[in-house]
Copies of this chain bind each other. A is one copy, B any other.
Amino acid sequence: MKRKVFVLSDHTGLTADAMARALLAQFPGEAHEVIHRPFLDNHEKVEAVAAEIEKERAPLVFSSLVDPRARERIAQASGEGLFDFFRDYTPRLEQLLGRQAEPVAGRLHGIADHGLYHERIRALDYSMVHDDGAVTRNYGAADVILVGVSRSGKTPTSLYLALHYGLKAANYPLVEEDLERDTLPAVLAPHRHKLVGLTLEPAQLQRIRAQRRGSGRYASLEQCRWEVRQAEALFRRHRVPVIDTTAISIEEIAARIRSNFLGRS
């Protein structure tokens, strides 16, 4: 029997989920089943989940519920397995800030974010138009231009940068013609300070390409090796900073670009 792990929230549950996963990641190999119960915004829903929890043997419960009555009910149902970070941290924060908390469910993602919302939508429009080198004339407006061979992770990274950070992220694929030269592609040269190169192990590139298009030269290990070698030489020659995406997630590639290369906090 896998141990049940409940993630409860009156809103999306993204924060409670991140916390639960970070803590559980310290116990590799531990079998558990994560059950998400977001949007618990009335007492009927809370009661139903409390009943679910009470049926389980030694469940873990990670909660970001804000309503005091809901939290009390869940605490009663969960026993010692409860991790309620509002309960644990809010009193100390009140003391440090010298004021009472004003708990309101879902404030985090409320209307106050509208400015950011529009910035992100504008960035996403930009990133989609400037995906895969389709349009290159407006690189002056880019915050960053990702460069790499086909299937090195440029598109998901650009979209993540736009969706999460509101950054206008263009991306440009290095094709054979670019890789045969010593110079940067002409459309990139004026924007060298905005470039970030993506690279990865040829064997992984080969696997990704094979999954997408099967066999043929495009997905051959020899071709992947040549492209990666040429791309890395080009980055070195023109001092383009590089991220190796072989073993890291999209979130991490994006966070590294933002932090290391754009100096955003």
Contact = CB atoms under 8 A, between A and B. Distances in A.
A241 interface: no
A19 B64 CA distance: 10
A252 interface: yes
A80 B96 contact: yes
Given A118-B211, A247-B110, A90 B26 contact: yes
For the complex, would chain A's binding face be called helix, strand, loop or mixed by DSSP majority? helix
A126 to B, nearest CB: 12
A240 B24 CA distance: 38
A35 interface: yes
Interface size, A (range):
35 or more
A39 interface: yes
Contacts of A118: 208, 211
Contact of A21 (B27, B108, B125): B108
Given A14-B255, A109-B251, A156-B163, A102 B208 contact: no
A99 B29 CA distance: 12
Contacts of A108: 21-22, 25
Interface in A202-230: 208, 211-212
Nearest to A245: B117
Contact of A255 (B13, B113, B120, B252): B13
Interface of A: 11-15, 18-19, 21-28, 30, 34-36, 38-39, 58, 60, 64, 66, 80-81, 83, 85-86, 88-90, 92-93, 96-97, 99, 101-104, 106-111, 113, 117-118, 120-122, 124-125, 128, 131, 155-156, 159-160, 163, 208, 211-212, 247-252, 255-256, 259-260, 264-265
